[in-house]
Each structure stands twice: as C-alpha cells, then as structure tokens.
Amino acid sequence: MRRVPPVGPKAPAHVHTSACSPWHPFPRLERAGYVRRTADPADRRKVVVEAVPDALAGVESAVGPARKRIGEVLAGYTPDQQDLLFDYFSRAAPAFREATEEIRASTQERKGGR
C-alpha cells in the first residue's frame, strides 16, 4: 500500500484549495473509496492518507485505453529519447504549476485581492 504524506496545512495548497474548502479532495476521495485516513503511528495528532489498493482497478478500466495509446507513442522513441521526454515533463510540470500560481496571484492583485 502506497502512503501519501500526512494531510496538513500544505496539502490544500498542493491541490489548490483551502483546508476548509468544500472542494477539498480528501473527503471526496475517501467517500469514493479511493483513499482512507489513518492515524500516523509516530504522531497520533497527524492523519495519514493511504490509497486503497483495489480501488484503482475501476480507474484503470477507464483510463486504460489512453494509457495504451500513450505507451504506443512512447514505444516509437529510443530509450535515450524517452529519457529526454521524461526529463522534460518532470521539469515542465512544476514550472507550469508555478506559472499558474503567478498568474493566479497577479489576477487576484488586479482584482484588489478578492
């Protein structure tokens, strides 16, 4: 079972919500059966969110065709080219998230901080 870092003040920022937002994803994921909350064995005040192992079978059936097609695309590249692609995407994704945050912040500033 894969363990996700404890839910805490930084988790909502990572998923772009506030801790009290009705759109906070953890309760919805828990109700859907994808994750469960357990007490952190090292610190009972913390909560650890764990993926429910068999819950992703339904997700795989939904996204399986897309994964297959992407696999076919990647198979057309050499291992070195694949390494380059994976390196690019591992760097581009965080850069895109940072740029999104900058855009969000500047939009809020233009709206007067609302």
Kindly report which listed range (15-19, 75-79, 101-105) carries the lowest average pLDDT score: 15-19
Mean pLDDT of the chain: 80
Write out 57-109 in H/E/C secondary structure.
HHHHHHHHHHHHHHHHHHHCCCHHHHHHHHHHHHHHHHHHHHHHHHHHHHHHH
Bigger pLDDT: 56 or 86? 86
Distance, C-alpha 85 to centroid of its chain: 20
Q: pLDDT band at 24, cuts 50/70/90?
A: low
Cα torsion 66, 27, 92, 114: sign: positive
Residue 86, classed as helix, strand or coil, is: helix
Per-residue pLDDT, averaged over 36-59, amounts to 85
Does 76 have pLDDT greater than 90?
yes
Burial of 35 (0-12, 13-18, 19+ CB in 10 A): buried
Per-residue pLDDT, averaged over 43-52, amounts to 85
Give the chain's end-to-end CA distance (angstroms, integer).
41
